[in-house]
Amino acid sequence: MRTSTLIASGGAEDLSALLAAETAAVAIVVQGHGFSVLREAVRQLVRAERRVIVEARDFFDGWLIDPEHALEVVLTAAEAGAETVLLHDTAGALWPDQVGEIIASVAETGVPLGFGCPEDGGSAAKQLFAADAGAGLVQGSYAVVRGGLDRADSPSVHSAETGIAPVPCPRLEQSMSAQTAIGGVR
């Protein structure tokens, strides 16, 4: 808990509540808001000296329909001052390698990226592909710290219950060393 960061989370319409929460970091959920609303919300939070993570819900569905528009969301958030743009696979319909390919394409912009997905059978694999492709923040299943960040393990399926050992992941440690908070407390 010494390295955890409490994160207030809400949409652009919750801006007053996000500011009133007085947390050091804020996750602003973007889902169907216009670029000007996103830009202004991020700018206000940054002016209030908050670390801002933009959580782009339905990002991958949007990417499959219109990659240029989806990329504009990422660039708008970054230009407004967001520290990280978390690309969320809300529907959970993509294969892990597809997630990795898309994140690798978006990572070429240089914008610090994160990845989130629902807790389903493929979430750990998607998170590993996302981290390998350039996501520095992974939300959903959390990395387990046991003398160092070296394993990925879903909180809903513990190795003691299943008899399956967590997956060794030294690459995850490298990708996430710059981030001290993984996921967020809501």
What pLDDT digit, counting tens, does each position of 48-61 carry?
A: 999 999 999 999 99
Q: Helices 123-133 and 96-107 sit at what angle, rounded to 10 degrees?
A: 30
Pairing verdict, β 135-139 and 167-168: unpaired
Burial 15-28 (b: 16+ CB within 10 A, else e): beebbebebebbbb
Q: Is the pLDDT of residue 101 over 50?
A: yes
Examine the pLDDT at 99 and tell me if it is beyond 60: yes
**How large a percentage of the chain has pLDDT more than 70?**
72
Amino acid at 183: G
pLDDT in tens, 151-177: 344 333 333 333 333 444 444 443 333
What is the model's pLDDT at position 17? Answer: 93
Question: Residue 149 has what pLDDT?
Answer: 36
CA 34 to chain centre: 20
Tell me what pLDDT residue 33 has.
Answer: 63
**In the predicted model, is pLDDT for residue 32 greater than 60?**
yes
Q: Which residues pair with 137 in a beta bridge?
A: 114
- In the structure, what pLDDT confidence band is assigned to residue 40 with cuts at 50, 70 and 90? very high
Of the candidate ranges 32-36, 40-44, 127-131, the one whose mean pLDDT is the lowest: 32-36
pLDDT at 138: 87
Mean pLDDT confidence for 83-112: 94
> What is the Cα–Cα distance from 81 to 70, expressed in whole angstroms?
18
The pTM of the whole model exceeds 0.85: no
